[in-house]
Amino acid sequence: MDKIIIEGGKRLSGTIPISGAKNAALTLLPCALLTDEPLTLRNLPRLADIDSFQHLMTQFGVSTSIAGTRPGDFGRVMTLEATRLTSTTAPYDLVRKMRASIVVLGPLLARAGEAIVSLPGGCAIGNRPIDFHLKAFEALGATIEVANGYVRAIAPDGGLKGGKITLPFPSVGATENALMAASLAQGDTVIENAAREPEIVDLCGLLCAMGCEISGQGTSRILVHGQNRLHGATYKVMPDRIEAGSFACAAAITGGEVTLQGAASGDMEATLQALRDAGVAVEEVKGGIHVAADGPIREVTVSTAPYPGFPTDMQAQLMALLCKGVGTSVLTETIFENRYMHVPELNRMGANIETSGRTAIVHGVEKLTGAEVMATDLRASMSLVIAGLAAEGETQVHRLYHLDRGYERLEEKFALLGAQVERVGEG
């Protein structure tokens, strides 16, 4: 298993390209199940999660091919073709490894009239139920059976029917599943209290490119005019706002400056505002965002919230930045109940963080020190890398596979910024 070794104390400076968004890509890929025509996705990040999803799609009889990229390029182009579905079952082994697999339920149900997907269970950041997804399918006429660790959703004779879905919470995954199911349902569907995340807007962009009629995306009320069939499309994945925010925190903790080429500032206002509040200069430049830090990192108070609030996926990275600062910051995690596993590891690096329930109090310290650390999830791993960049001496971050799930060519991007970050095999 690989690990990453960071020699801290180098000031980051330069320009990096921002990759296609993992969280968008993982909801665009299953759209291939909605049509018998080819779907081509451009700007797909090269990530372990994308490879796993590609593998999952082949389980349903989808043919996939990757073309048009050279080894040195960032991003890939993938064409998926689901001429005929040969299976509607997503097995435990694949769903267990990647929770995002649950978004195949909606498109399989809509196209094939049935979907059998292993219940994902909890994960490192908390108990992650799918009851909102299942209620949404029921609102479209589906019958749900849960047995032996699997959920089986069955469409009525004649297929799903448009309906009214009211989500108890603006769940991203449930909104995605509902959108894909509704796109092939007969008649109109309204999704109330829908998630407003940019990745939802990106998904609606693709569904519209495939022939669906959708309005209200980006608001809490989305209207979907379902179609009898959808056609193929070519579509570019949006830039990754979490990757961009992570590199902004990395540059800031070293007192450095970075241009995030391709980042879309309109998608990440809450993150940029938190950085500004921390004393970091943030500027929109042609084709991207420029971030520079030359004074001390100041205290901030932030709660995670559904978009347009501060993203839960940025909480750990912002916390790492605030560790090496002045004043006392207060972070509150409202989305997941167990998302502070990076705290003890950051404290081992000299940080001074206390947690109480969903709140973390970060007392800024003057210096961090390198250590051997490991994390149990993707964003937590990135927070340890960020702390390592500013720490005195060497930091080793174990379990690199977490980072490979969500950051395309991490060490190459850090090398472009002058950081000393090396990947080594642990034998």
Q: Residue 301 forms beta bridges with which residues?
A: 330
Piece in contact with ligand UD1 (CB under 6 A), picked from 85-93, 168-176, 216-224, 408-416: 168-176
Residue from 9, 61, 129, 279 that binds ligand UD1 (CB under 6 A)? 129
Amino acid at 257: E
Is the four-CA dihedral 336, 97, 45, 389 of positive or negative sign?
positive
The catalytic site residues sit at 123
Q: Residue 192 forms beta bridges with which residues?
A: 166, 221
Q: Smallest distance from the beta carbon of 306 to ligand UD1, in angstroms? A: 4
Q: Burial level of 186, CB count in 10 A (0-12/13-18/19+)?
A: middle
Residue 159 or 245 with smaller CB distance to ligand UD1: 245
Interface of this chain with ligand UD1, residues 216 to 245, rule: CB under 6 A? none
Question: How many CA atoms within 13 Å lie on the side-chain side of 65?
Answer: 4
Number of residues that bind ligand UD1 (CB under 6 A): 19
Piece in contact with ligand UD1 (CB under 6 A), picked from 123-131, 150-158, 215-223, 363-371: 123-131
Q: Smallest distance from the beta carbon of 108 to ligand UD1, in angstroms? A: 17
Rounded to an integer, what is the distance from CA 260 to the centroid of its chain? Answer: 18
Interface of this chain with ligand UD1, residues 282 to 321, rule: CB under 6 A? 306, 311-313
Residue from 122, 169, 294, 361 that binds ligand UD1 (CB under 6 A)? 169
Residue closest to 329 by CA, chosen among 363, 294, 357: 363
Give whole-number Cα distances, 275 to 12, 252, 336, in Å. 16, 9, 22
Distance CA 59, CA 57 (A): 5
Piece in contact with ligand UD1 (CB under 6 A), picked from 127-135, 204-212, 256-264, 394-402: 127-135
Distance CA 367, CA 345 (A): 15
Q: Smallest distance from the beta carbon of 152 to ligand UD1, in angstroms? A: 17
Residue 81 or 197 with smaller CB distance to ligand UD1: 197
Question: Does 381 participate in binding ligand UD1 (rule CB under 6 A)?
Answer: no
Binding-site ranges for ligand UD1 (CB under 6 A): 23, 128-133, 169, 171-174, 197, 306, 311-313, 335-336
